[in-house]
Amino acid sequence: MLVQRNYRVAAGPGRRAGEVDLILRERDGTLVFVEVRARASTSHGGAAASVSAAKRASLVLAAQHYLQRRGGAPPPCRFDVVAIDGERLEWLRAAFDAE
């Protein structure tokens, strides 16, 4: 189930620190933070490879902010990547950890 789209966290006036494209909730209560990446081709590594360490860190920061705002005990969470290369779509479950 879709919880939120384009959740953004500001780093200061006029600056973004992080953004999560999609926040989903699975039937078991797990929150899934999803990064969607699209590339016309895989000639430069493809969509999945474009999720750099810096991008992962900004996703984790935004997810932590979301969970703090939500309050209470955090549910199980996961970070997924939806990689779109041309006409090919791949959903990478648990693509990376928060650490």
d(CA 63, CA 2): 15
pLDDT of residue 14: 65
Share the mean pLDDT of the chain.
91
Domain ranges in the chain are 2-96
Q: Is the pLDDT of residue 12 over 70?
A: no
What count of Cα atoms within 13 Å lies in the side-chain half-sphere of residue 38? 4
- Which amino acid does the sequence have at 46? G
Topology (CATH level 3) of domain 2-96: Trna Endonuclease; Chain: A, domain 1 (3.40.1350)
What is the chain's length?
A: 99
More confident residue, 22 or 14: 22
pLDDT tens, residue by residue, 19-64: 999 999 999 999 999 999 999 877 778 899 889 999 999 999 999 9
Q: Is the pLDDT of residue 11 over 90?
A: no
pLDDT of residue 40: 85
Single pTM value for the model: 0.90
